[in-house]
Every structure is written in structure tokens, then in C-alpha cells.
């Protein structure tokens, strides 16, 4: 069995999703993936290569730079990931996520609220992926004539507490409602904390959107964080495809493949309500978190301090949907994510989406989309 070396720190959900995607392709062609998540010296790198005799390598460049000397990796057997931009590395095949498209998706979510002002919060230190999103944010806000602001912290990293206080003070000066685009989910979570410190209500006075859709972060804050779902699994899969073509000499030149985002996962921080109802917001958060765990309508309606009939009326007035319709929508969106970004058996998707009956879920899916799950999967195949 041929071995491929994968160099990538696995300390983020993005890195792990890339590895999953690469693993999907490796399974199809019979590769053995050996992951090296910790840095190694040049000598140790040579020892790894001598031991495994890999047919190729996938190397994460980590913001356009790498801890390794790229000259040690043959351009004919190496695919790079996450070059923003690929300066000096044009001789390699490269796979990256589409930062421009992702920023447009995020800003579109905020523009739907018709905010008085739109703000961008960069990463705590200079990073090319953050800079790309910042530049795209300003380009789009200028294009559409939107009032745009940018937070420029003066407190050095890693003084998190002081930075949060500074961010809270800055947010308090902005007109409301405001739409905030955070450089990634970690920054988005910080924005939610700063809003709490400043007494700013989310999502009524401030909407927040992050990047990466790291569920551990997005679901662990209150309200939950809306985030652009960057398709890291497909990026990993595409890296495998490119490497396979390189190894088999099927490429005339070294391409740069940019993978578009899957869309936005809308959670509590940007959920549009027709009118302010904090109990409806809490109920909506519960649905987002538990809809695929067998959540029932009566569990949601118990959030309201009133009769079930009145609670249902309040929820519909605030969201434009009934509780059951909202639960169904969350489950269908989950199914679409599974069908698009994973290669799991169709028979298990019903259970993963909160349905006991596979037959019932297939009927619901067809009623909602006009297609069977298999037809939908084929129509949205990578």
C-alpha cells in the first residue's frame, strides 16, 4: 500500500476536517495516510521519508508560511494547503479555501438586517487570512455604500482581558443595530463576550458572524455563534485528487484550487426575528442545539411562561415559522450538510438528524426539497 505523508497541526477543527477529506480520497485509491502533527527537524524529516518512502506529501503552509523548508519537498509529489496568497510557491500545486467568497457570504448575512453600521474585528496579530477577509470586507462595504468600521486594538496579545475591555468600549460607541464580522470563530466568541460586558443585546442590537463553523466554539457560547461553513473536508479531498494527478503525471501545470464555502450556519447571533421576544430567541437556540437529538415541540414550548397555544403563536410571530417547521428546517439543513460534505450511508442520516424512522425522514426530505436524498446528493456532488 502506498503511503502519503500529511504535515498539519491538528489543533483546530479545520485541520481535522482537512484530514478527514484527505482520508476519504485515500480510501478510494488505497493510500495509507501518515499524519505528522508536531514539527520535526530536517534530520527527523529525512528519517521519516526514508522510513515510509512516501509516494507524495500534503503540506500545510499555515498562513502562507511553513515550518519546513519547501525545497525539501518535490513539487512533483507535493500539494500545499492554505497559501494566502501563494507568493514564492507558484511551482507547487495548491489548495485553499475561497476567502473572498466566504467574506461575501458573511456580509450578506449581516446586510439582510439592514444595520446602521458594519464592523470588522481582525485576528489578534497579523495573519494573511484575516487580512484577506478585512480587505474583502472593506471592498464590499464600499461597493454597496455601507458605513464600515474596523476595530484596531492597541492592547498587545495575549492580554485577553484588556483586549475584551477595549473591544467592549469600542462596540459601545457604534450606532445600533450593528453588524459585526469577526475574523474567525474565536474572535466571534470574544465579540459576544464584549457585547455582554457592554450591555449590548445580541442579536437585537448587534449581529455577529464568524468563520470556520467550529461547532465546539459556536455551540459553546450564548447566544450561539453564526459562522461561515468553510469546506475544509472538500479542500482535503481536493488535495488528495491533485496529489494523485501529480504522481500520475496528469497535470500539465501546477494549479491553484480555491474551494468555495458551503454557506452560513445561522445560529442565535444573527437570527432574524420579526419582533423582539427573548423567550422566542431562547426557544430558537434550543432548536438549533437539540433538533437532531430527538427534540419534541412540547420541549420547546415549555420555554415560554404561558400556555402552549400562546407560546406557539408567539414563536410564529417572532420567527415566521411554527415550532415544528423550525425543527424540520434544522434537521433538513443537517441532512444537506451530511450529504454534501461527508460520505456516510444514507440509511444512517435519518437517525443522525433526529428521526426514528428512515421512511418518515425520506418522505420529509422529499417534501421539503422536491428530490430524494440520492438525487439531492448527486445534484450537489463535488
The pLDDT-based confidence of 343 (bands split at 50, 70, 90) is low
Name residues whose C-beta falls within 8 Å of residue 82's C-beta, 6 or more positions apart in sequence.
60, 61, 62, 63, 64, 96, 97, 129
Among candidates 362, 285, 274, which has minimal Cα distance to 326?
A: 285
pLDDT value at 382 more than 60: no
Percent of the chain topping pLDDT 70: 94
Question: Does a cis peptide bond (omega within 30 degrees of 0) precede residue 223?
Answer: yes
Task: Find the angle CA(262)-CA(268)-CA(270) to the nearest 5 degrees.
Answer: 65
Task: For 220-269, write each residue's pLDDT tens digit.
Answer: 998 899 999 998 988 999 999 999 999 999 988 888 899 989 888 888 89
Write the burial class of residue 201 (CB in 10 Å: 0-12 exposed, 13-18 middle, 19+ buried): middle
Name residues whose C-beta falls within 8 Å of residue 296's C-beta, 6 or more positions apart in sequence.
none
Q: Are strands 93-97 and 56-60 parallel, antiparallel or unpaired?
A: unpaired
pTM over 0.85: no
Q: Give the separation between CA 185 and CA 63, rounded to whole angstroms.
A: 17
pLDDT value at 29 more than 60: yes
Enter the C-alpha cell of residue 167. 473591544
Task: For 184-217, write each residue's pLDDT tens digit.
Answer: 999 999 999 999 999 999 988 999 999 999 989 9
What CATH homologous superfamily does 100-230 map to? Response regulator (3.40.50.2300)
pLDDT value at 354 more than 90: no
Q: Give the separation between CA 197 and CA 176, rounded to whole angstroms.
A: 16
Cα dihedral 275, 280, 285, 287, rounded to 10, equals -120
Task: Find the angle CA(77)-CA(82)-CA(87) to the nearest 5 degrees.
Answer: 80
Question: In CATH terms, are 3-97+231-262 and 100-230 the same topology?
Answer: yes
What residues are paired with 57 via a beta bridge? 5, 78
CATH architecture assigned to 3-97+231-262: 3-Layer(aba) Sandwich (3.40)
| For range 316-345, the mean pLDDT | 83
Question: H-helix or E-strand containing 46?
Answer: helix 42-52
pLDDT of residue 62: 64
Residue 224 DSSP code: P
CATH number of 278-379: 1.10.10.60
* Alpha-carbon distance values, 236 to 80, 169, 272, 321, 341 (Å): 10, 40, 33, 37, 11
Cα dihedral 195, 200, 202, 206, rounded to 10, equals -90
Which residue is associated with the grid cell 426514528?
356
Name residues whose C-beta falls within 8 Å of residue 283's C-beta, 6 or more positions apart in sequence.
300, 301, 303, 304, 311, 315, 323
Name residues whose C-beta falls within 8 Å of residue 232's C-beta, 6 or more positions apart in sequence.
13, 14, 15, 17, 18, 21, 97
Which residue is associated with the grid cell 428530490?
371
pLDDT of residue 236: 92
**E strands of 201-280, at which residues?**
206-211, 226-229, 256-259, 263-265
Q: What is the residue extent of each domain of the chain?
A: 3-97+231-262, 100-230, 278-379
Q: Give the separation between CA 365 and CA 339, rounded to whole angstroms.
A: 12
* Alpha-carbon distance values, 150 to 102, 170, 183, 326 (Å): 18, 10, 11, 35
The SS3 assignment for 87 reads coil
Enter the C-alpha cell of residue 106. 458573511
Amino acid at each position: 500500500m502506498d503511503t502519503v505523508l500529511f504535515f498539519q497541526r491538528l489543533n483546530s477543527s479545520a485541520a481535522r476536517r482537512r484530514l478527514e477529506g484527505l482520508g476519504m480520497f485515500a480510501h478510494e485509491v488505497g493510500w495509507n495516510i501518515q499524519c505528522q502533527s508536531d514539527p520535526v527537524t530536517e534530520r527527523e524529516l529525512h528519517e521519516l521519508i526514508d522510513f515510509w518512502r512516501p509516494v507524495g506529501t500534503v503540506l500545510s503552509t499555515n498562513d502562507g508560511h511553513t515550518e519546513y523548508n519547501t525545497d525539501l519537498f518535490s513539487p512533483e509529489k507535493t500539494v500545499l494547503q492554505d497559501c494566502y496568497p501563494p507568493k514564492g510557491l507558484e511551482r507547487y500545486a495548491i489548495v485553499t479555501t475561497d476567502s473572498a467568497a466566504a467574506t461575501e457570504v458573511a456580509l450578506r448575512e449581516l446586510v439582510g438586517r439592514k444595520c446602521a453600521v458594519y464592523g470588522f474585528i481582525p485576528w489578534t496579530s497579523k495573519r494573511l487570512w484575516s487580512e484577506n477577509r478585512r480587505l474583502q470586507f472593506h471592498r464590499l462595504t464600499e461597493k454597496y455604500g455601507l458605513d464600515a468600521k474596523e476595530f484596531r486594538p492597541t492592547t498587545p496579545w495575549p492580554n485577553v482581558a484588556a483586549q475584551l475591555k477595549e473591544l467592549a468600549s469600542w462596540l459601545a460607541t457604534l450606532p445600533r443595530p450593528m453588524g459585526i464580522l469577526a475574523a474567525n470563530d474565536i474572535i466571534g466568541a470574544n465579540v459576544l463576550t464584549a457585547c455582554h460586558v457592554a450591555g449590548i443585546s445580541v442579536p437585537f442590537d448587534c449581529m455577529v458572524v464568524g468563520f470556520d463553523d467550529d461547532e465546539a466554539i459556536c455551540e459553546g457560547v450564548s447566544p450561539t455563534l453564526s459562522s461561515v461553513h468553510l469546506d475544509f473536508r472538500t479542500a482535503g479531498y481536493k488535495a488528495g485528487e491533485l496529489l494523485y494527478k501529480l504522481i500520475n503525471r496528469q497535470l500539465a501545470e501546477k494549479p491553484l484550487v480555491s474551494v468555495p464555502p458551503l454557506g452560513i450556519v445561522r445560529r442565535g447571533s444573527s437570527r432574524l426575528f420579526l419582533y423582539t421576544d427573548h423567550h422566542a430567541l431562547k426557544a430558537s437556540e434550543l432548536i438549533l442545539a437539540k433538533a437532531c437529538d430527538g427534540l419534541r415541540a412540547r420541549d420547546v414550548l415549555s420555554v415560554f411562561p404561558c400556555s402552549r397555544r400562546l407560546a406557539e403563536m408567539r414563536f410564529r410571530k417572532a420567527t415566521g415559522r411554527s415550532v415544528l417547521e423550525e425543527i424540520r428546517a434544522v434537521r433538513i439543513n443537517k441532512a444537506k450538510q451530511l450529504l454534501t460534505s461527508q460520505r456516510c450511508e444514507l440509511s444512517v442520516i435519518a437517525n443522525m438528524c433526529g428521526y426514528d424512522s428512515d421512511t418518515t425522514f425520506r418522505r420529509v426530505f422529499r417534501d421539503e426539497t422536491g428530490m430524494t436524498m440520492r438525487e439531492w446528493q448527486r445534484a450537489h456532488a463535488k
